[in-house]
Structure 1
Amino acid sequence: MSTSSIRMYATAVCPYCVRAEQLLRRKGVTAIDKIRIDLDPARRDEMMELTGRRTVPQIFIGDLHVGGCDDLYELDRSGGLDPLLAKLAG
């Protein structure tokens, strides 16, 4: 999957960001475009404008805003994550 396929707004010390990335890696994702909002406050503003949320991670698969870590795990539990990732890979 290309780097631009999955975008994650994150910070360096966020355990939820680590958990989300671990799940995506287990699913075969090799590249994640990580946007470090702790290093660039303007990117935090961008994230809040796009998502309406202040917390990290905020994950996009393609153009779809999946949400945060709990949202990503719930998407996986409900069977929705694999089809989204398959569309990017195919």
Structure 2
Amino acid sequence: MPNPVIEIYTSPFCGYCHAAKRLLKSKGAAFTEIDVIAHPDRKPEMIKRSGGGRTVPQIFIGETHIGGCDDMMALDRRGGLDPLLQG
């Protein structure tokens, strides 16, 4: 089974975005980064997909909205991140 597509909406000045990307990289997970500062036209898409989330990062693994950095780190502590990354 192929690994799910991972998308993370970010801004270059966001420490939480950098931390979230570090965690994904440490797991060997490939992801697509969508910079909402460089591509402001993508921000409404992020807000809609996340159910109203206006802050970055907003993280999606496959069709699952993980939330932000703290949400993903909590998921990892509970042991729930690795199974999602494997598909």
TM superposition score normalised by structure 1: 0.88
Deviation, 1:32, is 1.3
Alignment partners' CA distance in 2, 1:24 and 1:49: 23
SS in 1 for 2:12: coil
Residue in 1 aligned with 2:74? 74
1:38 aligns with 2:22: no
Residue in 2 aligned with 1:57? 57
Residue in 1 aligned with 2:14? 14
Deviation, 1:20, is 0.3
Deviation, 1:42, is 1.4
Which blocks of at least 5 consecutive residues in structure 2 are unaligned?
none
Deviation, 1:49, is 1.2
Alignment partners' CA distance in 2, 1:78 and 1:64: 17
Runs of 4+ in 1 over 3 A off after TM superposition: none
Alignment partners' CA distance in 2, 1:47 and 1:76: 22
Aligned sequence identity (%) = 49
Q: Which moved more, 1:70-79 or 1:37-46?
A: 37-46
Which blocks of at least 5 consecutive residues in structure 1 are unaligned?
none
Aligned-residue CA RMSD in angstroms? 1.4
SS in 2 for 1:54: coil
Aligned length: 85
TM superposition score normalised by structure 2: 0.90
